[in-house]
Chain A
Amino acid sequence: MALLEVKDISVYYGVIQALKGISFEVEEGEIVALIGANGAGKTTTMQAIMGLIHPKTGSIYYNGERIDNIPTHKIVKMGMSEVPEGRHVFQELTVYENLMMGAYTVKNKEKIKEDVQEIFKLFPRLEERRNQIAGTLSGGEQQMLAISRALMSHPKLLLLDEPSMGLSPLLVNEVFDIVKHIHQEGTTILIVEQNAEKALQIADKAYVLETGNIILKGTGKELRDNDDVKKAYLGG
């Protein structure tokens, strides 16, 4: 049984159909990448998994339990967490308070303290800015904070929606190193990326999404070698 099973879901925004019956699976311990052009439906897919929108047809299973009709906060408690597209850190709260929001579902105060220390080891720049208002952080720092915040709940499955968006090449590398690190620590990862090159490098398995349909799937390597993918997403 896969950790996450998406079965034939379709999502509509009014009359516009954003997902036209897509299916895919994420096995425990994998890194799975979802690539596709702007508007393909990647974010919609992530939001459907998180329960922020509900598919009209189809179903989603997490750990064998059906989740496509339960509210987001319950899905989070089941061990899922997301770094949303565009970061969405809480602008008015400090770095530290943002981390506390990430630990909202964690009861053990001692554990939270230890986790914050762990995070600060991983991101020393956040420790220096501990009491800074998140809205005044640079884009890169906000992304680090968004990732840290998502880790505070100890997700079993972490969803990353374009974590490298708007970052300088050096920072992009750093983000992918961190993703690999999180994965090595035992977290299963579903990542959406415009930077298909990088995503396919780290992915065990990948799916290509085009206007609401999955048109290709394979291992990261298979897709990197695929001529269509090369042409459309890897710049020739």
Chain B
Amino acid sequence: MDFIITFLNGLSLGGVYALIALGYTMVYGIAKMLNFAHGDIIMVGGYVLFVFVGLTGEPILAIILAAFLCMLIGISMEKAAYKPLRGASPLAVLITAIGVSYFLQSLAQIIFGAAPKFVVIADLGTITLGSLVIPVYSIVTLVVSILIMIGLSLFIKFTKTGRAMIAVSEDKAAAQIMGINVNNIITVTFLIGSFLAAIASVFYLLKAPNISPTFGSKPGIKAFTAAVIGGIGSIPGAMLGGFLLGIVEVFSNSVPQIAPYTDAIEFLILIIILLVRPTGILGKKRREKV
């Protein structure tokens, strides 16, 4: 019985990792950069929730505002910090991203202080099915993240903008020749990634209602690991990597003897997968036909 609950919790954490990993992987695929500040968007979402749940007591309104403000910050960061570096060396972009990450964390610390803030969005409680006591947030998280992923997949496959995203990620110059404005597509990508990060912040706070300036670091690193495991640049890869990592993490944490080593186990999995498949599980090698 414990197994079922653990499995459900693993899937649910995996869904959250997948949402965040999608942000990393889509930005990587389309803008060809690692946005190390992506995790900090989750933190921004957390503080927006803290402020607006506190002010209004309306969780739904606060969630909408969090999504909106995260998207705003996401595209501002792209326009201000990354866009001027289009065409610069990858190292310069990477260092800038780390700088943006510190900037957001420091800003949060100046505004809200270093001590954690407490914010209860909602207490969803548990439901009992026979002998199973299931935390409702796990179910909500899993269901909502799966729905969002389905929606995102449909968007990418069937809309003009979605297909343009595939085109840009595959071949930027060819996409431009089609008349695609690559800057617009990059903006859309940051919007989507930031939206997903905002949703992730809701799920995190449903589970543990504390928020601090470094709130986004750990989920950011974990989700980035998930994206690399799945194959960075691959959308199904980010989903697979997310679920895989979530399940491993929750199962590992459920055994007291190995729980302290959970992070090490996860990164070990990363290393092993990269040794066996350097492009990640679903990452593809470039095919070129001349």
Give the contacts of B158-177 with A (CB-CB under 8 A): 160, 163-164, 166-167, 170-171, 173-177
Could you say which of A92-100, A180-188, A221-229 contacts chain B? Answer: A92-100
Q: Does A41 contact B (CB under 8 A)?
A: no
A90 and B164 form a contact (CB under 8 A) = no
Q: Does B178 contact A (CB under 8 A)?
A: yes
Q: Does A166 contact B (CB under 8 A)?
A: yes
A100 and B290 form a contact (CB under 8 A) = no
Binding site for B on A (CB under 8 A): 50-52, 71-73, 76-77, 81-82, 84, 86-93, 97, 100-102, 104-105, 135, 139, 142, 149-150, 153, 165-166
Q: How far is the CA of A105 from the CA of B179 in the complex (A)?
A: 6
A52 and B176 form a contact (CB under 8 A) = yes
B180 and A91 form a contact (CB under 8 A) = no
Would you list 16 pairs from A and B whose C-beta atoms are within 8 A, ordered by A residue? Answer: A50-B176, A52-B176, A76-B176, A76-B178, A84-B174, A90-B174, A91-B287, A93-B167, A100-B160, A101-B167, A101-B175, A104-B160, A139-B289, A139-B290, A153-B178, A153-B179
| Interface size, chain B (Cβ < 8 Å) | 20
Choose among B167, B176, B179, B181 the residue that contacts A90 (Cβ–Cβ < 8 A).
B167
Residue of chain A at shortest CB distance from B177: A82
Residue of chain A at shortest CB distance from B176: A72
A104 and B289 form a contact (CB under 8 A) = no
Choose among B160, B164, B173, B182 the residue that contacts A88 (Cβ–Cβ < 8 A).
B173
Residues of B contacting A139 in the complex (Cβ-Cβ under 8 angstroms): 289-290
B179 and A77 form a contact (CB under 8 A) = yes
Q: How far is the CA of A90 from the CA of B180 in the complex (A)?
A: 13
Given contacts A84-B177, A104-B164, A135-B289, 16 further A-B contacts (CB under 8 A): A71-B176, A73-B180, A73-B181, A76-B176, A76-B179, A82-B177, A84-B173, A91-B287, A93-B167, A93-B170, A101-B175, A101-B178, A135-B287, A153-B178, A165-B290, A166-B290
Choose among B163, B180, B182 the residue that contacts A93 (Cβ–Cβ < 8 A).
B163
